[in-house]
A = this chain, B = another copy of it.
């Protein structure tokens, strides 16, 4: 997302830290993804950022939604979103949540274990279930190989078990890993998924849905494949491996790629100090107030207001809390002349930031503004200043 004059001006006038969201980027991301994958149905992964402005924007574009809990379903229903457009993609659901979802019209449920089949059979009899394949995802920032999904043979058994339990085996999902750098991972995953389609077809179980999961990367500090390139690989692979499936539905569950570049965090330097030979810079936001993903060294681009072209040196960047875990980067290049009260922008922080924020240390979770709210706030403050005079 571009660092506009409005954002720079707001950062100077308003209390930091805050995350600003520009939903125009969400619209653009939505349209790009729709144009890149043939007939794709987009189920936005609400967990990436559940801010109402984002959900409303996607609702108005006709998007569907992937949810993780009853709490997210209620939030969508409150925005007038039909439960027919909701898929319950968490493979670890509470029974009460399954029942709530089914009773309110949610039709699709993810599974990757026998026990989850039993829970769904008890609470959502006749529901459509899709099985999640595991992957070896070494080319992503957040490999998800361990916790979710299972191998093709096991998944086939699970989907057959679901049928015996009165559920409708409906499709296969996978996730190449969040922020995946290797576009050929999708080809490998679709090939694996096609094996499940084929083997079950031979047993007269016809799956109808391929769920591509998320994983489309957002540009931060490393080069990433474009969504169009990834789409091309996906279209070719579906054609090659699943072209024989009649009426195949293709779903995508973008989270980061839908909102990651739609946000910028504005923060300020609270302290600069030296410890031994190392320079430390402390911001008014950190791991517990928006930058949780940095604990595993996820790298955001950082810009310091007015010092965009300054010489940089290696420093340690940390957050404002009394907790050593609240260290953003042990080593990062920052302007040699960075100083107290400088405004620091953390770029493309629309995904997985405000959602992870806590109240730790008595410090409030990061504030979130839309561009429209920001415009209004700046104007209000202007009026306030006028009145004082």
List residues of chain A with CB under 8 Å of any chain B CB.
Answer: 45-47, 50, 67-75, 89-94, 112-116, 119, 134, 142-144, 146-151, 154, 270-276, 280, 282, 284, 288, 295-296, 316, 318, 320-327, 340, 355-364
Contacts and interface: CB of A to CB of B under 8 A. Distances in A.
B362 A316 contact: no
A143 B288 CA distance: 18
A275 B90 contact: no
Question: How many identical chains are in the complex?
Answer: 2
B326 A362 contact: no
Q: What 3 A-B pairs come out closest when comparing CB atoms?
A: A71-B362, A113-B273, A72-B362
A143 B356 contact: no
B358 A46 contact: no
B69 A324 contact: no
A203 to B, nearest CB: 22
Contacts of A67: 362
Given A92-B321, A142-B325, A154-B274, 9 more contacts: A73-B362, A89-B322, A90-B320, A90-B321, A90-B322, A90-B361, A134-B275, A147-B326, A148-B324
A68 B355 contact: no
A169 B89 CA distance: 58
Contacts of A324: 142-144, 146-148
Given A146-B316, A295-B295, A327-B147, A360 B270 contact: no
A116 B271 contact: yes
Contacts of A320: 69, 90, 92, 94
A262 to B, nearest CB: 19
A357 to B, nearest CB: 7
B150 A270 contact: no
B340 A325 contact: no
Contact of A92 (B46, B70, B270): B270
B360 A356 contact: yes
A70 B72 CA distance: 32
Contacts of A114: 273
Given A47-B322, A360-B47, A112 B143 contact: no
Contacts of A360: 47, 355-356
Nearest to A280: B147
A336 to B, nearest CB: 16
18 contacts: A47-B360, A47-B361, A68-B363, A69-B363, A75-B362, A92-B270, A92-B282, A92-B318, A94-B270, A113-B274, A115-B271, A115-B340, A116-B273, A147-B324, A148-B324, A149-B275, A356-B360, A358-B358
Nearest to A276: B151
Nearest to A66: B322
A316 B270 CA distance: 40
Contacts of A147: 280, 318, 324, 326-327
Contacts of A119: 271, 340
A149 B93 CA distance: 44
A151 to B, nearest CB: 7
Q: Which of A116, A143, A272, A324 has the most CB of B within 10 A?
A: A324
Nearest to A321: B68
A92 B320 CA distance: 6
Which of A73, A321, A322 has the most chain B CB within a 10 Å cutoff? A322
Contacts of A92: 270-271, 282, 318, 320-321
A364 to B, nearest CB: 7
B322 A68 contact: yes
Contacts of A71: 359, 361-364
Q: Which of A116, A149, A364 has the most CB of B within 10 A?
A: A116
Given A68-B322, A92-B282, A275 B47 contact: no
